Chains A and B, each alone.
Chain A
Amino acid sequence: MPEFKSWPELSAAVATADILAETELDDLDSVYLGQPYCLKVSGNLLRNLDELSDSIKMIQLSGRRAYVTTPIIPESKDFDSVEAIVSRAAAFGADAVEIHDAGVLRWTRKNFPDLPVHLSSFLNIYQPETAIFYKDMGVTRIVPANELLESEVELIKEQVERIEFAVPVHGSLPLGMAYSCLLRRNLPGEEMDPCRQQCAEVHDLDMGDWKMRCVGTSLVSADDFSMIEFMPALISEGFDGFRLETHFDEAERISEIANIYRNALVEMASRGDYPANDLKRHLQEVCGDLSNGWRYGLSGKDYISSLDEDPFMAAKKGMGKS
């Protein structure tokens, strides 16, 4: 069995109350509530604050932690919404708020200094001193930048104490936050209000020989990111949180993904090993192709298996030959 400090918390992101109601929570330790990419998404808990309050209570009554996310990059005109979301999260005892923007962080620390804060990968934590700065601001949990190599994340973790580290283990990783909705901008007749929720359908942005998934105001990985083959390493590294980035998923899919990762954790805990290939196959049946390249020095869209050669060492050998 790998050495570990403690078993990581498994969390999923849930966008709406309807999805939450149908999601099987048994396999989860916590839930990030709300869809931070776009407030216009129908049913988004971030614009239905009474439903948000009820959802916090419901999750906590089930013995799980309820976190509330916030809009990713709110302009001045949207800042009132941010204040309302964070205030509601604090009033209803959310276990933390998830923040993606420096301004939202400042406002939250100023107005709710006792409210735990998790920072997302959008805050670009690429090196230890950035993590230390945020820790000194009172942030309780961070997600290092998704582009970082495994070894670079390890280095940051070694140098920064007394803050929790979380890492995505599965789901849609963001590739950028757009200034406007790509769907409304490009689909005929969609530019006018009210939004017709075209993002409810799956759209791809096909670049020729590769693609991204278009979710409106953002582009995310076309294939789900997955660390299913690397769970022992992540547990050994002592991450506090394993994140399922399921902001765009329906309840059934979230439940199935959570179950697969929970099975991996349970097997690891009980017998020190787990059927990685079986679980990977199961994931592929649910999600299709997978990706995880960034963490190992490949393109983000690529997938590396735990059985493959280290890309860095392979490149070293290649350089030697030339």
Chain B
Amino acid sequence: MTKSSIKVELMAPASSIDTAVVAAKNGADAVYAGVTNLSMRPKRVEFKDESFEDLINTVHSHGSKVYATMNICPKPSDVENFKRRVSEINDFGVDAVIVSDVGMMDWIHKNFPDLPIHASIMTSIVNPESAQFYKDLGASVVVVSRSLEDIGGVEEIHGKVDVDLEVFVHGGICYMFDGICYMSSYWKQKWDYDEDLGDIRLVGQNNTKGECHLICKRNCSLTSNGIVKADGKLMRRPDDVGLGKIPYYLKNGVRILKIEGRAMPAYYIEAATKLYREAIDLYLSDPEKYSVKDSWAPAVENLIEARHEYERKWDIERNLQAWEKVENT
């Protein structure tokens, strides 16, 4: 048996302090959590001002790290709040910030040089030059796009750029490259009241407010000259299940394996974290003998079914109802 000396982190999503604790207790080395109005998910799974300090203190007490997700593309009116929150969570002792906007990344690097920056999945890094671009900007970790057509691209980036890589190892996956999808606001965008702002704001933008309406998970039909050529969930991609790719990733510079799903319930986060913790530990204990265990199949199936359930019963309905409500007022 040859134990691996690779240092790798398993990163799990946190939508509340409870889910963060669940993740930490089940083997997450780090959790990532959204800062209200500044991450790519709905407010209900983000953390407001003081709750982020509670989150950091709680997760640190379990020996895990906290990465703050601030990966929207802020609009001019968001910039001041963005900077204030970076300063605040830096004081709270956050372990890194996950950012996509290059203007904000540059500002953070200049003003908080000791605060690690992770270039978010929203940057859609698919080639070494992009990875180097974000490293030059101050990123210590870059997330390789989960839409990479050729997985060999990870190796290519690792071979040419001296930066730690992060990949999504499990979860839902978009049809479009992250950060360059504008389908949601093309479909629906409306002025609506925002309780936090005490004023109306535009609701519906994905890149700037994380208001994704899961367009790519929906039924649709492909037509030409009025003839239906295909129909169904034409854009839906199967969940990413990265158990078999762990050896490849870890041999090629990946230092953070991330589980997707901040909007998913606690039981999903628990099950996914437990599964990938076991897999990573198995690999690290003896890399040569690692293989995907048959006994993991039921857990994988449950995770996939949980995501389908989420898509069916929660987000799509919630979004549609929310829009109907807005439209009926």
Contacts and interface: CB of A to CB of B under 8 A. Distances in A.
Interface of A: 72-77, 79, 101-107, 122, 124, 126-134, 145-149, 152, 155-156, 173-180, 182-183, 185-187, 201-208, 210, 212, 214, 219, 221, 293-294, 297-301, 311-312, 314-316, 318-319, 322
B126 A75 contact: yes
B149 A179 contact: yes
Contacts of A204: 222-224
B292 interface: no
Interface of B: 73-79, 100-104, 106-107, 123-134, 136, 147-150, 152-153, 156-157, 175-177, 179-183, 185-193, 200, 202, 204-205, 207-208, 215, 218-225, 228-230, 234-235, 237, 329
Contacts of A131: 103
B220 A207 contact: yes
B180 A133 contact: no
Given A126-B73, A212-B183, A177 B176 contact: yes
Contact of A299 (B73, B152, B177, B189): B189
A203 B224 contact: yes
A212 B182 CA distance: 11
A145 B221 CA distance: 28
A47 B125 CA distance: 23
B79 A129 contact: yes
Contacts of A203: 222-224, 229
A182 B235 contact: yes
Contacts of B182: 146-147, 173-176, 300
Among B101, B129, B136, B219, residue most surrounded by chain A Cβ atoms (within 10 Å) = B129
Contacts of B235: 178, 182, 205
A128 B127 contact: no
User: Which 3 A-B pairs rank lowest in CB-CB distance, beginning with the nearest?
Assistant: A103-B129, A129-B103, A315-B191
Given A127-B76, A300-B185, A133 B191 contact: no
- Chain B contact residues: helix, strand, loop or mixed: mixed
A130 B185 CA distance: 22
A124 B73 contact: yes
A131 B157 CA distance: 27
Nearest to A136: B106
B103 A133 contact: yes
A57 to B, nearest CB: 29
A214 B223 CA distance: 9
23 contacts: A79-B128, A101-B126, A105-B133, A107-B129, A129-B79, A129-B107, A130-B102, A152-B76, A173-B182, A174-B182, A176-B182, A178-B175, A178-B176, A178-B177, A179-B149, A179-B175, A182-B235, A183-B222, A210-B187, A297-B189, A299-B189, A300-B187, A312-B191
A85 to B, nearest CB: 14
A76 B190 contact: no
A91 to B, nearest CB: 20
A106 B102 CA distance: 13
A203 B123 CA distance: 29
Contact of A75 (B78, B150, B190, B234): B150
B17 to A, nearest CB: 31
A221 B186 contact: yes
Contacts of B192: 315
Contacts of A202: 224-225
B102 A79 contact: no
Contact of B153 (A77, A145, A174, A297): A77
Contacts of B101: 124, 126-127, 130
Contacts of B136: 106
A206 B220 contact: yes
Contacts of A298: 189-190
B208 A147 contact: yes
A254 to B, nearest CB: 22
A176 B175 contact: yes
B128 A76 contact: yes
A3 B77 CA distance: 27
Contacts of A219: 176, 183
A75 B127 contact: yes
A244 B75 CA distance: 25
A155 B76 CA distance: 7
A127 B181 contact: no
A177 B152 contact: no
B329 A318 contact: yes
A180 B101 CA distance: 25
B181 to A, nearest CB: 4
B200 A299 contact: no
Given A75-B126, A76-B157, 6 more contacts: A79-B129, A103-B130, A104-B129, A128-B76, A178-B175, A312-B191
